[in-house]
Structure 1
Amino acid sequence: MSTAIVLAGNPNSGKTSLFNELTGGRQHVGNYPGVTVEKKQGTHISDIGQFDIIDLPGTYSLTAYSLEEVVARDFLVNENPSMIVNIVDASNLERNLYLSVQFMEMGIPVCIALNMMDVAKKRGIQIDIEKLSKLLRVPVVPTIARTGKGKEQLMQAVAAKAHQKFEPLKISYGQDIDIALDKMEAIIKSAGFLTSHYRHRWTALKYLENDQQIIEMGHKEDKAIALKLDQIVQKVTRHLGETLDAHPEGIIADQRYGYVNSVLKQGVIKFYHDENRLQISDKIDKVVTNRFLGPVIMVAVLMGLYHFTFTYSTIPAAGLENVSTWIAGIAELTLPDGLLKSLIISGIIDGVGGVLGFVPLIMFMFLGISFLEDTGYLARMAFMLDRVFRMFGLHGSSVMAFIVSGGIAGGCAVPGVMATRTLKSPKERLATLLTVPFMNCGAKLPVFALLVAAFFAEKKALVMILITMISWMGALLVAWGLRSTIIKGESTPFVMELPPYRLPTAKGLLIHTLERTWQYIKKAGTVILAISIVLWAMMTFPGLDEAQLQKFEDKRMAITSGMSSQTLIEESLLQVDLLQAQTALKNSIAGRVGTAVEGLTRFAGFDWRTNIALIGGFAAKEVVVSTLGIAYSLGEVNPDDTTSLSQRLKTEEGWGPLTAFSLILFTIFYSPCFVTVVCIARETGSWKWAAFSIVFNTTLALSLSILFYQVGSVVLA
């Protein structure tokens, strides 16, 4: 029999590191039912038993101010876990224990994992673990999550206390509120009001804290009782306003902090160094967040990331490309000519194989980003960029949504759109979620890598930095335009916690990197495979009619009968075969669509084949690479040709650095992928904004590409 426990705690408390240490590879990621908040689950197996572990979203409180807080609270209430393991930052006890107090008030068994003991020690903080446990009346276990230290002792404490009855914590909130609480608790108890979900006193507290979710639930269950509770809340609110110039929720928060402070002052914490001394993180921040040095360091860090990615991913990427070529060669030799052979080689191997060939690059990129994230540097980037974002009408919290979407490269716009939920202002949130798709997500990265490798091989890192800067500046300028016109509104203040710098563990980096890489591989093996097959069919059918086929056969007959040189005959026949393959591709459904829009896209340097790839990119951006692979594979007739797609593009007529960068610009800005569009519609509650993102982004992308290509053509003429 397994025991269900949840991990909970403030953001940056080391919760994810502990979850990874406890579950290892026995974990999976999904979403909570009905919402798009990420849900992590895993299993811990040891000598003391099996534990089902759920990693709750990071939260500072249990009052429904954000979706994450609602999700965390609802899970605790509805699932009734055996125990909450509350991960507490030992170097910031007072702030972190505020959430612990709320858990204890709920009446669910609590075990505190006193994490980051190494950081507390470096800061000169000494904690009396036994005294803290005795005063709080809950188990307290010191841990260092990033190294796994203390995890066995933690699980032993959990096993010992998990199924025991836990008496809820009762705090005095002052005479005025205590009297109101007693009255409300009596009403709730006698009426059985919301008692199937919550304890009496806890429900009364939520009413006093103006918790909208609980208030709405109360009105649905029993309006008469809800009105009685509202009247008591209004009465005490007026009284506190007249006598103390305060609100109930403010006093409740003050009293909770007061309770925590009273515990800590009973000899729990001692400082054996100067409490106010400048910490190592503060010293580093004086340099890396400096107004002038900070941006320079940030660009240098990004340059280093791109250099690392392209340098060390080259050999494994070439190996995967050779494997793909080898598989295609086997299929070429063993399969009989026909549609099945074309589907397997051109539709599946060249399509999906082209995307999988970028797995090493994606993996190294994710490794670098995970390192920056785990060290705490990404939070510093958000802090530095806040000043810039405010100039363009966005909020400092928008930065993390941009970074999650691929602000450094390798993210995904879907969680980026979801990350905008942390923004309280609806206008800032809307402007942010409409512009995060401009970031260089992991799906765009193969397109950039292909074109950069083919046409800018000598300056890969520099060109990638330029692409990153273009995507950021484009997003900020569009946000400024939106905030100045159709999404006007006041800016809201920005407050952000900077976590201390930490040295990531190899295990943590490996788990984060493999998780993200697997998501990419899974997408290639499912979504992209399906799209590649559909696009292959669109590029294969209806094929040439009898008259066209006869025309090419007549040309072959003329060549064989009119030439004496065997070499010339073979070369001429090869040219006819190539022309037939290209004619068939152009006559296909996809070819006709690509040709129809070529009248406009040729001003941006795109021919009909490129148009086919970009149309496929509306479904998923990785498909741009796979479709180009299919298009040029279907137009290839020499079975012995093992030329890579990047090499083919370099020698193809109409392709060059100008065309390549025009395509890069278009890829940065054009319509979000289908999944992101659906997510935008869901988050805004309207398909109007989803349609806006498709039309506006594509129009902007095409306009910029045409402008760049035309100006570039004049300059280079």
Structure 2
Amino acid sequence: MKKERDIDIVLGLAGNPNVGKSSFFHQLTGIGVNVSNYPGTTIELAEGIVKHEDHTVKVIDLPGVYSLGAVAEDEWVARRAILERDVDVIIDIVDASNLERNLYLALQLIELNIPIVIVLNQYDVAAQKGMSIDPESLSESLGVPVIPTVANQGINVAKAFSVAIEIGLKQKKPEKKVDMDKKLEERVESLAEVISKEIDTVPFGLPPRSLAIKLLEGDEELIDSVIDEEGGEEIAEKARELAQEINEEYGEASAFRIARERHGLASLISEEVSERTEVSPSLSERISGWTTETKTGVPILIGVFLGLLMLLFYGGGFIEEVLIGGWETYVEPNLVSVFQIISPNPEIAEILDIGINLGIKGILAVMFPYILVFFLALALLEDSGYLPRMAYVMDSVMHKIGLHGKAVVPMLGGFGCNVPAIMATRGLTSKRQRLISTFLITLVPCSARTVVIIGTVGAFIGVLPALVIYGMILTLIFLVGFTLNRFIPGETSGMVMEIPPLRKPTFKPVLSKTWNRLKEFVYIASPLLIVGSFLIGILDASGVMNSIVEPFSIFTESVLGLPPILIIPLLYGIVRKEGALVLLFAVAGTSNLGSFMTSLQLFVFALVVAIYIPCIATIAVLKREQGWKHAIIVTVSTIVLAIIVGSLVFHLNPLSLMG
């Protein structure tokens, strides 16, 4: 990334996961932010532009990481942005209630000798836990400004931002270095002197001491960069000799010794600047305990899931009823009149009616009642810190299908969208787990599939049959996972996962997450669906529709028991799932699907659409993550599963639905 001409300063927000970076970011930037991938990676960065006095500031929310080791892709991105000076100043968000753990990353950032401000966020949570931290003492120990904040309430956020801008503009570095063990420090300084003498251009402009520490840690990227410089071979050799000396001196690899020193310093500093008193557990902490205990956590998890579905069934259904009722009362009659004025030709008027009227009506029936409500609920669950608790509770169940509880997080993300959920499997520890979880995520009913289920079965048959579809899909996921676990060689590893504190969701981050997910539907899907509606209108008016439908009619009608015309939305569902519902309205010629299809047909249609491969975007990400072979296998397998299950339900009709 390069600084744009009209940007005066770039500020990066760094910190561990779950420290409140999102709250801090959205307090600064508001809702209107851009989300894009860091060049050459799948890691998304949120960016916002802020005016501060006479300066234009770009704020970048860097990935949440525990260190700058560049082992995982998110660590690499955070480190790369800092090393290449994509950012002018860092605000390191530290969880005040977990000071010792968070100081490890802070010490690494300070070692880089870059302009930095430490923010003690969640200061109120620390106080509730009986922790009292002295920001001035911490600032003196670290040699950088330290400001306590409560980001979700906006407390001191503006002050921290102002101080960071001032430091960034002046390029004010840390005022002191945090020394390690004396003998270790001597070797660091010895290598730093050699670096100063031997090479003119230090990689990434790092200070010699910072580079020396990284070389002693065995940082391969920086070692390669040094070797490429004239005189670099001598420095690399000197680093190897000193690393061997450290190994002999302390009985462990130099990288481990340096990490141990940082942890020790973090513990020592934390003890010196904070005091702790015993306090009774707060209500939030007690609720947090209930969510992670099996006896209470499982019922809570089921309750949350059912509550989400009820919100969609009743809340979304009410919104749909209001929107469609208003459209049919106030807009549709006028549009039909306009179409007749535009063209006396009934076929042209029919094309316009299907393309514009039914197309927009279908989008309204999908976007606001179901997609918007689902994304809003998902953002609330994410911001509250509840999702990791679901992962913890589900850990033992997940082991039966070859995964651990951490895989629940990307799978839960699949309820929003399968594409980023599949990308999130990179955080799993083995190729086997990534393969199994990727396959299962494609079966998770994403928001688009949920729209189809609720917009058909939920709206026209009832809540219970819709819940049965979810039950069938979850059972199918378990059976497929159990089978894959049996036949794919390897073992399931254990889970190491941090559980953040429960917290009250913050208004701006929730709205921002909701909008960032919804805008793809608004800007990309909606125009495509209007085009699809127009195409249906043209095919229907020209008589070409029958020539497309007839070859599939035996399969559609005899195997699945559906009206032959439904092959059109079924095929379009491979492009975008919500499009299957919108085009269903278009081919039905009415928003009252109950008058076009029987209850059994609605159930089978929703079930089939909910099982087979989510969309073209999912196929593309499967290819990128697992290769064409696995992408084709997953795609074909889910289509076959959908046909088999749909056919069985049609012919057996286990719910005795009206056929």
Q: Same fold (TM over 0.5)?
A: yes
Per-residue deviation, 1:442: 1.5
Q: 1:229 & 1:711 partners in 2: Cα distance?
A: 75
Q: Which residue among 282, 293, 297 is the counterpart of 1:290?
A: 293
Larger-Rg structure: 1
Cα shift at 1:324: 4.1
Residues 356, 521 of structure 1: 8 Å contact kept: no
Which of 420, 427, 448 aligns to 1:422? It is 427
| Aligned residue number for residue 630 of structure 2 | 689
Compute the displacement of 1:536 (Å).
Answer: 4.7
Written as runs of structure 1 = structure 2, the 5 A alignment for 1:425-504 is 425-457=430-462, 460=463, 462-485=464-487, 487-504=488-505
CA contact (8 A) 2:19 2:95 kept: yes
Q: 1:195 to 1:507 in 2, by over 3 A?
A: closer
Aligned to 2:45, the other structure's residue is in SS state: strand
Partner Cα distance (1:675, 1:189) in 2? 53
Write the deviation string for residues 220-252 of structure 1: whole angstroms up to 9, x where unpaired. Answer: x369946x6665565556655566442222211
Counterpart contact for 2:386–2:502, Cα < 8 Å = yes
For 2:212 and 2:283, the matched residues in 1 are separated by 44
**Which residue number in structure 2 is paired with residue 412 of structure 1?**
417
Distance change >3 Å, CA 450–CA 264, structure 1 → 2: closer
**1:6, 1:56 within 8 Å by CA — same for their partners in 2?**
yes
The yes-or-no answer on 1:141 pairing with 2:144 is no
- TM-fit CA distance, 1:192: 4.6
Say whether 1:206 aligns with 2:214: yes
Q: What residue number does 2:522 align with?
A: 521
Displacement of 1:714: 11
Unaligned 5+ segments in structure 1 are: 545-583, 634-643
Give the Å deviation of 1:393.
Answer: 0.3
Equivalent residue, structure 1, for 2:564: 608
In structure 2, the partner of 1:585 is 545
Q: Distance in 1 between matches of 2:357 and 2:611?
A: 29
Quote the Cα distance in structure 2 between the aligned partners of 1:356 and 1:450: 11
Q: Which of 1, 11, 24 lines up with 1:5 in the alignment? A: 11
* Structure 1 runs of 4+ with >6 Å offset: 713-717
Inter-partner Cα distance in structure 1 for 2:491 and 2:226:
33
SS at match of 2:577: coil
Separation in 2 of the partners of 1:321 and 1:41? 36
Contact map agreement 1:352 1:524 (CA 8 A) in 2: no
Structure 1 partner of 2:162: 156
1:680 is aligned to 622
Which consecutive residues of structure 2, in runs of 5 or more, have no partner in the other structure?
A: 1-6
Q: Are residues 1:306 and 2:300 paired?
A: no
CA separation of 1:329 and 1:218: change in aligned 2, threshold 3 A: farther
What is the rounded CA distance, in whole Å, between the counterparts of 1:229 and 1:424 in structure 2? 34
Q: Matched residues in 2 for 1:704 and 1:52: separation?
A: 51
Whether 1:120 and 2:126 are equivalent positions in the alignment is yes
TM-fit CA distance, 1:341: 3.4
Task: Say whether 1:367 aligns with 2:376.
Answer: yes
Q: Post-superposition shift, 1:101?
A: 1.0
Change (3 A) 1:453 1:479: closer
Partner of 2:173: 166
3-state secondary structure, aligned to 1:35: coil
Q: 2:594 aligns with which of 633, 650, 653?
A: 650
Match of 1:24 among 21, 30, 34: 30
Q: Secondary structure at the match of 1:126?
A: strand
1:553-577 Cα offsets, whole Å, 9 max, x none, are xxxxxxxxxxxxxxxxxxxxxxxxx
The letter of the residue matching 2:123 is: M
Question: Could you give the per-residue CA deviations for residues 436-477 of structure 1, whole angstroms, max 9, x where no partner exists?
Answer: 1211212112211221234423xx2x4444443433332233
Assess, with a 3 A threshold, how the Cα gap between structure 1 residues 329 and 199 changes in structure 2: closer, same or farther. Answer: farther
SS in 1 for 2:447: coil
* Conserved 8 A contact 1:671-1:698: yes
Q: Cα offset for 1:405? A: 1.0
> In the alignment, is the contact (CA less than 8 A) between 1:42 and 1:52 conserved in 2?
yes
Distance between the aligned counterparts of 1:245 and 1:505, measured in 2?
Answer: 48
Q: Distance in 2 between matches of 1:466 and 1:229?
A: 66
Could you report, residue by residue, the CA deviation over 1:101-120 in whole angstroms, capped at 9, with x for unpaired residues? 11111122011111101101
Question: In the alignment, which residue of structure 1 is the partner of 2:352?
Answer: 344
Which one is further off, 448-457 or 322-331? 322-331
In the alignment, is the contact (CA less than 8 A) between 2:143 and 2:177 conserved in 1? no
Other structure's SS at 1:526 match = helix
Match of 1:86, SS state, is strand
Match of 1:707 in 2: 648
Residue of structure 2 equivalent to 1:56: 62
What amino acid is the match of 1:586? N
DSSP 3-state at the match of 1:450: helix
2:338 to 323, 334, 337: 334
Structure 2 residue 654 is the aligned partner of structure 1 residue 698: no
* Preserved CA contact (<8 Å) 2:84 2:204: no
Distance in 2 (alpha carbons) for counterparts of 1:526 and 1:218: 52
**Deviation, structure 1 residue 131:** 1.2
Match of 2:325 in 1: 322
Q: Normalising by the residue count of structure 1, what TM-score does the alignment of the two structures yield?
A: 0.83
Residue number in structure 2 paired with 1:402: 411
Work out the CA distance in 1 between the residues paired with 2:480 and 2:654: 26
C-alpha distance 345-194 of structure 1, shift in aligned 2 (>3 A): farther
- For the structure 1 residues 707 and 63, does the alpha-carbon distance in structure 2 shift closer, same or farther, using more than 3 Å as the test? same
Aligned to 1:662: 604
Secondary structure, counterpart of 2:373 in structure 1: helix
Contact map agreement 1:370 1:512 (CA 8 A) in 2: yes
Structure 1: distance between partners of 2:440 and 2:225: 35
Q: Following TM superposition, by how much is the alpha carbon of 1:72 offset from its aligned partner in structure 2, in angstroms?
A: 1.0
